[in-house]
Chains A and B, each alone.
Chain A
Amino acid sequence: MSTFLASGPNLGRGGIAAWLAGLSGRGKALVLAGEVVVMLVVWELVVGVFGWINPVFFPPPSAVAQGFVELVQSGALAANLTVSIQAWLTGFAIAVVIGIPVGLLMGSVLPVDRIVGPIAWTIYATPTIAYQPLAKAWFGFGIGPVIFLVTISALFPILLNIAAGMRTTNQSIINAGRVYGANRLQLYRSVFLPSTVPFLFAGLRQAVVLATIGMVVAELAGSSSGMGALIIRAANTYQTDQAFAAIAVVVVWSVGMTQVVTLIERWVAPWTRKGRR
């Protein structure tokens, strides 16, 4: 992010821009935190104090905070969050367990790549929401369709990224390995796998976001429990403050799991770019 902020073709001309670019990491964080506070205050003023927007449709931050407290006190949050997390983790685990071996197989065996690849791309290109009614008809109204949608959302980014990673392994490193007499197994162990790991984690990060979307979609469109059901119930009873609070929890989950993936990457594979940051 910091390198992204400090690059571009139009840099070093404006006064504010130069000042911002020259700030330390801590200074930048402070400026951003200040912005967040200003935005929250403006939001609160516009909706809560002046009432320019109907607070039922767009509740101010204080009401959302109150809605959060209500959700926690009534126990609705804990009950629904448990169901959602359970479905999410199960679906994600299935996707990882299927995606990694199949991806590795696609990356190392050409015929598999040529056959599974086009099929996987075709399914991946279609928004997973299209499969939701089928899942509902097959697995009933419980947690089943949610797990199915999470799995199918998370599977393809993992699988296709790993396959792409194996395929783009630097040829000169492979050659170097061969020169030093590495056999097939050693070549996989010390050349292909390490260079695929960054792709694996890029795929996992993508999968986290898509899995969360799949989970919310499945729960919104036909589930009696879970965060999506909580959101739609709150919205339908005009308790939008609670709906916003529940949405915020989903956002925190999505961002949090992305961070967890990054942390694992930093720990398992410190040689990758993301890990070094």
Chain B
Amino acid sequence: MSVTSATGTNRIVRPRRVVRTGEAKWGLLLFAVVAGIVLVWEAAVSWFQLVPAAFLPPPSEIIVAFVRLLGEPEFWAAFAYSMTNVLIGLAMAIVVGVVVGLAVGWSPVLRFTVAPFLWLLYSTPKVALAPLFILVLGLGNESKIALVFLLAVFPIILNTMEGAVTVSPSLVNAGRVFGVNGVYLGWKVIFPATLPYSLSGIQRGAALGFTGEVLGEFLGGTGGLGHLLEFAAYQFMMAEAIAMVIVMVIIANLTLWLISALRRRLAPWYDDRKIVGAS
């Protein structure tokens, strides 16, 4: 479901998977189709040699490369390097994004003066700034962390802002009636009501932050998963390169799944569909 929300942040909400007896059948079918694709791939490359294996290695080779990769300490060092940078940058982006988003969402004056610029920056392809970050901050961790932060912070701000704007006024008034004011009102009413929105911003921000990290590694430096991937592709070790891509696919999907689980846990009263609104 996708909606252009109040702030113009477009989102598609992944349909929640409901496990019913009928669903197991689809899962099986999906598995069969994927297995069929893999089989055709294997047949086309290694049995009939329709595609040169140097370009597109067969799945069996990729699996071997994948398993070998997981046994290498070098891979885990790169993994730790990338993930540390992403986590630091993302943590900073979450703190700044939620605070700025709440402030701008709450205050009409700020919303009028600052929000259009935030919206413009949000829709700007900020990846173009990557070379400048490396120029200013060098090839080390700092430039990558800064890039992760820059790419991740805007979706978080925009979504938090949207959440703060859509907090029901009757909740706020109820709070005021009970004498809740100031920071306490923010903590008890605004923040929890905004939380699911922030989390969906964080979800988007995590994906973009990962882009920032990998791009930073492509452009310079000698550590991290992006560097390993680039190196493998450069050496034309395609099986290793595709195995690295699969690692990244797993990391990205696992991160999204984790944040979704967190949202269901922290804000069980919210439905994905409700966040997007009836439109």
Contact = CB atoms under 8 A, between A and B. Distances in A.
A272 to B, nearest CB: 10
B140 interface: no
Contact of B128 (A129, A136, A231): A231
Contacts of B164: 8
Given A168-B1, A273-B4, A161 B12 contact: yes
Interface in A215-242: 216-217, 220-222, 227-228, 231-232, 235-236, 238, 240
B30 A9 contact: no
Nearest to A201: B4
Interface string B20-64: 000000100110011000000000000000000001000000000
Contacts of B65: none
Given A127-B210, A130-B245, A243-B131, A8 B125 contact: no
B213 to A, nearest CB: 9
Interface stretch (A71-79, A186-194, A250-258): A250-258
A127 B128 contact: no
A209 B123 contact: yes
DSSP class of A's interface residues: helix, strand, loop or mixed?
Answer: helix
Contacts of A235: 131-132, 134-135
B232 A133 contact: yes
Given A7-B6, A126-B253, A254-B124, A137 B238 contact: yes
B96 interface: no
A254 B210 CA distance: 22
Interface in A63-107: none
A114 interface: yes
Contacts of A206: 2, 10, 12
B1 A164 contact: yes
Interface string A9-26: 111001011001100000
Contacts of A5: 108, 111-112, 115
Interface in A132-167: 132-134, 136-138, 157, 160-161, 164-165
A137 B168 contact: no
Interface residues of B, number: 75
Interface in A1-51: 1, 3-5, 7-11, 14, 16-17, 20-21, 28, 31-32, 35
Q: Which of B55, B111, B236 has the most CB of A within 10 A?
A: B111
A136 B233 contact: yes
Contacts of B134: 235
A3 B248 contact: no
Nearest to B136: A57
Contacts of B30: 114-115, 118-119
Interface in B1-22: 1-4, 6-8, 10, 12, 14-15
A228 B165 CA distance: 37
A1 B233 contact: no
A254 B128 CA distance: 12
A60 interface: no
A121 interface: yes
A15 B11 CA distance: 34
Contacts of A1: 8, 116, 119
B229 to A, nearest CB: 5
A213 B127 contact: yes
B202 interface: no
A273 B237 CA distance: 50
Nearest to A222: B218
B142 interface: no
Interface in A257-277: 258, 273-274
Nearest to B25: A114
Q: Which of B106, B125, B256 has the most CB of A within 10 A?
A: B125
A258 B12 contact: no
Interface in B218-261: 218-219, 226, 229-230, 232-234, 236, 238, 241-242, 245, 248-249, 252-253, 256
Given A161-B12, A251-B124, A127 B26 contact: no
B168 to A, nearest CB: 7
A202 B128 CA distance: 24
Given A10-B172, A125-B207, 11 more contacts: A17-B112, A21-B112, A118-B30, A126-B253, A129-B211, A137-B236, A209-B125, A228-B128, A232-B219, A254-B125, A273-B4
Report the 3 A-B pairs with minimum CB-CB distance, sorted nearest first: A133-B233, A235-B131, A17-B108
8 contacts: A9-B165, A35-B113, A132-B218, A134-B242, A199-B2, A205-B4, A217-B127, A220-B219
Interface of A: 1, 3-5, 7-11, 14, 16-17, 20-21, 28, 31-32, 35, 57, 111, 114-115, 117-119, 121-123, 125-134, 136-138, 157, 160-161, 164-165, 168, 199, 202-203, 205-206, 209, 212-213, 216-217, 220-222, 227-228, 231-232, 235-236, 238, 240, 243-244, 246-247, 250-251, 254-255, 258, 273-274
